[in-house]
Amino acid sequence: MMHKSGTRAVESEGLTTQRWAVLGALSRSATEPGMSVGDMARYLEVSRQSLAGIIRRLETDGLILSEPDPSDGRARRLRLTDHGRRMWAERATPLIRDFYADAVAGLSVEDMSHALHYIVRLHHNMAMIHNEADRA
């Protein structure tokens, strides 16, 4: 449901929730000089392979740039283009804010705090399961 309704909220800008996640990660001030594909995969908790197509489409659309990493020529660094930064700030972010406002309509701050607590707990438990499976 999150994927479907989130994508519907930003589709007017040619985005999906996956593209939104990549652009959002790159819009942070900490990633202004760029972010490696590996770091992006770890940050979003997805595989590098699942990012490949998303990155390619965002590059084709002129929203991100993939360039050689100055410290490791074999690695690639991703960063927002000026066009991507403007599109994110001026068009996508307001749509995303409206989507989240609609999603939490009728919930009190306390309700949202409890929900966040349980989501964080679920995420922690799933990470533990994942890490145990990796060790096995």
Q: Which residue has the tokens 């590996």?
A: 38
Residues 126 and 87 in one domain: no
Residues 111 and 99 in one domain: no
Number of domains in the chain: 2
Residues 53 and 70 in one domain: yes
Residues 96 and 111 in one domain: no
User: Alpha-carbon distance 85 to 79, whole Å?
Assistant: 9
Residues 62 and 126 in one domain: no
State the sign of the Cα–Cα–Cα–Cα dihedral 108, 17, 74, 34. negative
Residues 25 and 84 in one domain: yes
Residues 83 and 111 in one domain: no
Residues 73 and 6 in one domain: yes
Domain boundaries, position 46:
2-103
pLDDT in tens, 85-106: 999 999 999 999 999 999 999 9
Quote the distance between the C-alpha of residue 63 and its chain's center.
14
Residues 62 and 78 in one domain: yes
CATH number of domain containing 29: 1.10.10.10
User: Alpha-carbon distance 68 to 72, whole Å?
Assistant: 7
pLDDT in tens, 30-87: 998 899 999 999 999 999 999 999 999 999 999 999 999 888 878 889 999 999 999 9
Residues 72 and 114 in one domain: no
Tell me the pTM.
Answer: 0.87
pLDDT at residue 132, rounded to an integer: 86
Quote the distance between the C-alpha of residue 32 and its chain's center.
15
Query: Residue type at 57?
Result: R
Q: What is the dihedral of CA 92, 37, 60, 56, to 10 degrees?
A: -110
